[in-house]
Amino acid sequence: MTNFSYRVFSTVVSKGTFVRASQSLNVTPSAVSHSVNQLEKDFGFPLLIRNRTGVELTEDGKALLPVIQSILNLEDQLQQLVGNINGNNQGKVRIGAFSSVSTNWLPGIIRKFKEQFPQIAITVIQGSFNQIVDRVKQGQIDIGFASLPVVEEVFVEPLIRDQIYCVTPKNFIPSNHVSITDADVAQQTFILQQIDYDRDTKRALDRYHVSQNSLNYSIDDPSILAMVESGLGLGVLPQLALKRMQGEFNVYPFEEAFYRTLCLVINPTTLKSPAVVKMKKVIEQYLSEFYSTKYLGQ
């Protein structure tokens, strides 16, 4: 077994405090503190900065975390392989997903996976595209959903092209009654999430010359729709985010279609993990059946 201090260190970083790490590991906070202190003594430099709200990594700690996490992931992979050889489909999979994937894809994917592999534990971690990719790179998430482009050194597999739409109040009708044109956008206020403006949504708004002064930001997709319903502006949301949404609003395509490409991202170390291999296959089968010829994956 790997030095337990590695797992303690990784858990402290993940949980943010010694107390929460001790609860997760079922040991005392003093044992966690002693383990981290001993690890820092062995390495010869501090890994964590302690403060009143918790801990944060030192620069040296940031450099070591991916390597330590990779060692822990390889150990988990070894245990899964041993279990499979002994006839037990065991292990764990940590999935990173943003809100619309958690709502629309994961319930069906997890149900299908559990039917085949009931002994494999699943943890779902929600975050933004960048947070998911970063945690996959660090080895804290095994398999995640994100949007292209992905510049980090992780395995990437495109899944679908998700069209981006304009959401309007119920009484708003485009000039051509079909799609949003330049004339429809003039003098309008747009409501979106801050994180979306730095990615695919920005391309659509830039194409229609929407300025920063015409943007209002909301915390999540339901909040955007609530503001649109109240007549506070127009929303910009992808098809997947709108899939289960209902309310007093209209949805129109832009005259020039815009898309985001959703993808899988997997840490290279965990790519060969038996549990991750199984989850990847179930995801591919589920989306292939659901999207048919529109599916981009393997």
Please give the full DSSP string across 207-226, using - where no structure is assigned: HTT--GGGEEEESSHHHHHH
Judge whether 111 and 161 are in contact, CB under 8 Å.
no
Kindly tell me if the per-residue pLDDT of 98 is higher than 50.
yes
185 vs 200, higher pLDDT: 185
Polymer length in residues for the chain: 298
Given this model, what pLDDT does residue 84 score?
Answer: 66
| Per-residue confidence band for 70, with pLDDT thresholds at 50, 70 and 90 | confident
Rounded Cα distance, 123 and 125, in Å: 7
The pLDDT-based confidence of 251 (bands split at 50, 70, 90) is very high
With CA atoms as reference, report the closest residue to 274 among 120, 113, 99, 43.
120
Please give the pLDDT value at position 205: 85
d(CA 249, CA 169): 5
When pLDDT is averaged across residues 186-199 and rounded to a whole number, the result is 79
pLDDT confidence of residue 268 = 86
pLDDT in tens, 139-166: 889 999 999 999 878 999 999 999 999 9
pLDDT-wise least confident of 41-50, 83-92, 224-233: 83-92
Q: Is the pLDDT of residue 1 over 50?
A: no
Q: Who has greater pLDDT, 219 or 128? A: 128
Model confidence at 115, pLDDT cuts 50, 70, 90, reads: very high
